[in-house]
Structure 1
Amino acid sequence: MSVLLETSAGDITIDLLVKDAPKCCENFVKLCKIKYYNYSPIYNVQPNFSFQTGDPIGPESKDSDGGSSIWGLPDGATKRASKPEQMAFKPEFAKKRKHAERGTVSMATTVSKTNPDDRYASSQFVITLGDNIEQLDGKAAIFGEVAEGFDALEKINTAFVDSSGRPLQDIRILHTIVLDDPYDDPPGVIEPPSSPVPSAEQRATVRIAHDDVLEEQTDEEQMEKLRREREARAQALTLELIGDLPFADVTPPEQILFVCKLNPVTRDEDLELIFSRFGKILSCEVIRDKKTGDSLQYAFIEFATKEDCERAYFKMQGVLIDDHRIHVDFSQSVSKLSSDWRSSTNSKTARSKGGFGGFDSLEKRRQYRGAEGGKDRDDDYDYVFDKERRRAEPREGGGRDGGAVQDRERGGDKRKQRSRSRSPKRRDRHERSDGDRRHRSRDRYRDDRDRARR
């Protein structure tokens, strides 16, 4: 069983999975039959993820009721349901069906207000624009798959959209054709003789009509302006990601005045005294070089109110101060605002938590200790376990003497090297006889064995 959707982006043929979701398929087929989806907008386009449609008026319109199932008996022309209590139904979720392939068609669902484990659907449906969209599994009820029309899906996927995912130029379902219908019509369903014209509510949602021919922008000045705006937006988003801005759309304070072309001898007190006649000043700072302390010949003056700042702007333009004619403007800088935000944020986390940067999970961990105490890491890596624990581990060889002999044969040179840094009393053991040395090795082995057992 198949349905053909004629959209402004191209034709899309959908094969319905009648055995897996009979109720969803019946609802979809009957809504297509009464031309309920005609002129429905395609919205919520998420590139390489999915797009949504099925609300005949559009979710942004105040006249929209969200759509109705066929059992709500909606009218194909007015899109209004005559049985509002039956606008939603409980769809089937086939466990074996996943949103694994591009072009998977499923009913959009919402959680029940009475039982959070139940989900209900009406007329809205989703078509995936990518593979392995696992986020929709269990939330959207699969009832079909696209058989033809992937070029139309690609046009929708690459369409220019706004922040809400709505295409800037309308993409709409123009007509629906049922190729095969094995279901009986529910009582009260009326099939219109022809496709109804778009309703007034639908026409009111048109932004740029799908059949409008857009002229290519050739104004170089306007194109350069758009390019700069996009570049500034991208830079702001980057600064937000790295933590230099609290948010990308941050705007400079309206009560701060920027003053430049100052005389290098002009001080903070001088400016504050001159500008204080326009209103209360919260701060006045001449920006200076960090190393030399010399004035950089510009300053920021923060007034208590926006009105005081505006009066100073109109009155102080081109005024002579210390033989320099100054220039004033409203501040376009948010550096101070960002600095205060970062300081406040960092102080809260650092004071409430330990670790590195105020987070325990980012605590610095040393993997080696060879760099401490003048010790070379090439001589001994010295991992996090202690030497005493390593010395306490049982030796190879099984027997009491055998272990001591192997330890002596393998590490004789190392023991001699260590003995140079030990006390003179331990050096004397190298001058003793072999019998005394073997006796001391046995005693040391017993001590190590007892320590390991404990």
Structure 2
Amino acid sequence: MKKISMVFVIIVLSMGTFYSINQATNQDKPPDSSKDPVVTMILEDNQTVKIELYPQYAPNTVNNFIDLINKKFYDGMSFSRIVPNYLVQTGDPIGDGTGFPGYFIKSECKQNGVKNKIKCEEGVICMSRSKRYNTEGSQFFILLQDDLGLNGQYTAFGKIIEGMDVLQEIGKTPVNEKNIPQEEIKIKTITVDTFGIHYDEPQVISIYEQRNKS
């Protein structure tokens, strides 16, 4: 009988030790690394658009986007260019198509030597650039329809997961001959949820470096 009691005590103690270890392990678990960052864009009229980012395909671009969002770079910014029913573009602090954050980043697309598999389909978000590669900064556009002809030419780095109807409506806004909206459409705020995962500051290209490459 004593032997049975002793065995029972050992089992209970073992279970208690396992529970404690398991509880400690659960508490020490790192954030879920399978969670891609999700961006929430709230427009001036309080409509919401959500974007899932894909750091596995364009890591430095995602780092840059998150860094600018955290610095509130995009808050209060307008959509500077709309090609009706094709794309909407924002991220220009000046508003004439020349604005950027004071530096450039590398083009993370196939034609610039990066294995980026994201297709340029409806709802995909891409970085804007000049005619040259490695001139991206802060401007980005969102496709309102598929254009697979752009595949590999522009850095695609995310996709709309909520609010595509909001963007389609913006895509119907009247524009002038330069595709500048005739009525101002503003972003109130852009925030990002990284689910506890840290993203580094972007690797940047200075204006001096870019000029010397041309």
Q: Which residue of 2 aligns with 1:122?
A: 137
- Does residue 44 (structure 1) correspond to residue 58 (structure 2)? The answer is no
Q: SS of 1:121's equivalent?
A: coil
Task: State the match for 2:198 in structure 1.
Answer: 183
The aligned residue for residue 249 of structure 1 is none
| Aligned equivalent of 2:124, options 100, 104, 107 | 104
Alignment partner of 1:183: what SS? coil
Quote the offset at 1:172 in angstroms.
1.3
Contact 2:38 2:53 in 1 (8 A): yes
2:150 matches 1:136: yes
State the secondary structure of the residue aligned to 2:155.
strand
Shift of 1:97: 1.8
- Show the 5 A alignment for 1:207-286: none
> What per-residue deviation string (whole Å, max 9, x for no partner) do you get for residues 315-360 of structure 1?
xxxxxxxxxxxxxxxxxxxxxxxxxxxxxxxxxxxxxxxxxxxxxx
How far did residue 108 of structure 1 move?
Answer: 1.0
Q: Residue type matched to 2:198 in 1?
A: Y
Q: Percent identity?
A: 30
Q: CA shift at 1:53, angstroms?
A: 0.7
Match of 1:88 in 2: 104
**Aligned equivalent of 1:170, options 159, 184, 188:** 184
Match of 2:170 in 1: 156
1:3 aligns with 2:24: no
Tell me the C-alpha RMSD between the 2 structures: 2.1
Report which structure shows greater RCO (CA 8 Å, sep ≥6).
Answer: 2
Which runs of no fewer than 5 residues in structure 1 stay unpaired?
69-83, 113-117, 188-454
Asked whether 1:20 is paired with 2:57, we answer yes
Residue number in structure 2 paired with 1:252? none
Does the residue aligned with 1:106 lie in a helix, a strand or coil? strand
- Amino acid of the residue matched to residue 176 of structure 1? I
Structure 2: gaps spanning 5 or more residues:
1-36, 110-114, 203-214
CA distance in 1, matches of 2:48, 2:100: 23
Q: Which amino acid aligns with 2:161?
A: A
Q: Deviations over 1:369-422 (max 9, x none)?
A: xxxxxxxxxxxxxxxxxxxxxxxxxxxxxxxxxxxxxxxxxxxxxxxxxxxxxx
Residues 42, 188 of structure 2: 8 Å contact kept: yes
Distance 1:140 1:53 in 2: 15
Paired residues of 1:39 and 1:56 also in contact (CA < 8 A): no
Q: SS at 2:138's partner residue?
A: strand
Q: Is the 8 A contact 1:4 1:13 kept in 2?
A: yes
Q: Which residue of 1 aligns with 2:99?
A: 66
CA distance in 2 between counterparts of 1:38 and 1:57 reads 13
The answer to whether the Cα contact below 8 Å between 2:89 and 2:141 also exists between their aligned partners in 1 is yes
> Aligned with 1:175: secondary structure?
strand
2:182 counterpart SS class: coil
3-state SS of 1:25 partner: helix
Cα distance in 1 for residues equivalent to 2:190 and 2:164: 17
Structure with the higher helix share, 1 or 2: 1
Q: Does structure 2 retain, via aligned residues, the 8 Å contact 1:55–1:124?
A: yes
2:61 alignment partner, SS class? helix
Corresponding pairs, count: 159
In 1, the alpha carbon distance for the partners of 2:180 and 2:64 equals 25
Is this contact kept in 2: 1:160–1:168, CA < 8 A?
yes
Larger Rg, first or second structure (1 or 2): 1
- CA spacing shift, 1:96–1:171, aligned 2, 3 Å: same
The alignment's TM-score, normalised by the length of structure 1, stands at 0.33
Supply the AA of the counterpart residue of 1:99: C
Shift in Å at residue 140 of structure 1?
Answer: 1.8
Q: CA deviation at 1:89?
A: 1.1
